[in-house]
Structure 1
Amino acid sequence: MLRLKNLTKFYPSDIGNQYIFSNVDFEFPENHNIALLGSNGAGKSTLFRIIAGSEYPNSGRVITDKAISWPVALATGIHPQMTGRENTRFIGRVNGVENLDEYEEKVKKFAELGVKYDLPVKSYSSGMRSRLAFGCCIAIEFDIYLIDEATSVGDQRFRAKAKKALLEKSRTANVIMVSHDIKEIKQFCDSAIILHKGELTFYPELDKALDIYRTL
């Protein structure tokens, strides 16, 4: 179960509070790989951060009994003063990984950091940080993966590798995906939720949702 209960989120501004959501009640259907669609500024990334627990609503809450990833490829929780290996072990502990030695080697191999895995992350390029975060996420068995433009990470070869790994995950777990690439959405998703003017609507037929999305 993944449910939003009386969820309200706003940002203060000089002209008053700008609401993204106001008292939203919504339950995400289970056993679906879902595209989250909406126009720019609709609040898709904000909703992702709230679901992942990296941002808090002003009121209301997210209720779930699922293990949910942070948004894949975002360097959330990566500490610049720690090495790649130290970050990996820290993230593994936080997420209840049992075999940390095996986990850190999986991440090192997937992220392709080589000897730089043992250097402080502050010395990494933005692409290297993203690869580390991606590797840390994909090496954990979550129930739901939050995918936010994740296949734009790294060079063309690494993007292909990332997409393959995520497609494999989508066959054994569920995904909720934000992407502007319609072809990619069709690869990953079987249904969609449209976020429009603070309201969420589920469409079990992906093509129907895409037709509506194009008119927004």
Structure 2
Amino acid sequence: EYNTPLKSDGIIAITLDDDDELVAVRHTSGHDDLILVSSEGKAIRFHEYDVRPTGRATMGVLGMRIPEGHVLVGMAVAEDDADLFCVTSGGYGKRTPAASYPVHKRGGQGVITIKDSPDRGDLVGVCSVRDNHEIMLMSQEGVVIRVPVESVRCTGRNTMGVRVMNLRGADRVSSMARLVGRSGGNGGNGDVSRIDEGDQNDEIDNDD
């Protein structure tokens, strides 16, 4: 489908409604599980074969049912030996084993992936991580920071997370990215932040 001469403005990958937008693309094997995450702090895991193959210029099928006022913020390929790292707009993050997410049929509302707390903001990003990865966070005011994944301990799904980025005033986290491997220094893209043990105690774990 994509083995065609490229146009200067690209080729259609998906047909979207006027009020919709593409938020994530991942390469899969055809036998993977996918995890979709909403700004509400919920996630749904389903087999990718629940989504039938279609041509490029199609609208796709419903992956996750999202309540009004919230949006899909990301997608990850589920790897049971890896973790899911989530970040909120208020600068809080958490790391949860991907194996903690039960497999359901697509189209549901999902399960809690981070405990809702208005002062910590909505979920803004998610990615699959391992101990040797780092997370790069960027704020609306252009502040960038790198956080070693191993500095945030793994917790259950229904937890509030720990502070991973300090924000000034009304600034908010706007995006995140995964960095594979270690840079070995601060470099030019922001400081490396390690989470203090005191911050780790900020976690609150409750049953679903």
The two structures have a TM-score, normalised by structure 1, of 0.23
The two structures have a TM-score, normalised by structure 2, of 0.23
Which one scores higher on RCO, CA 8 angstroms, separation ≥ 6? 1
Give the structure with the larger strand fraction: 2
Give the structure with the larger helix fraction: 1
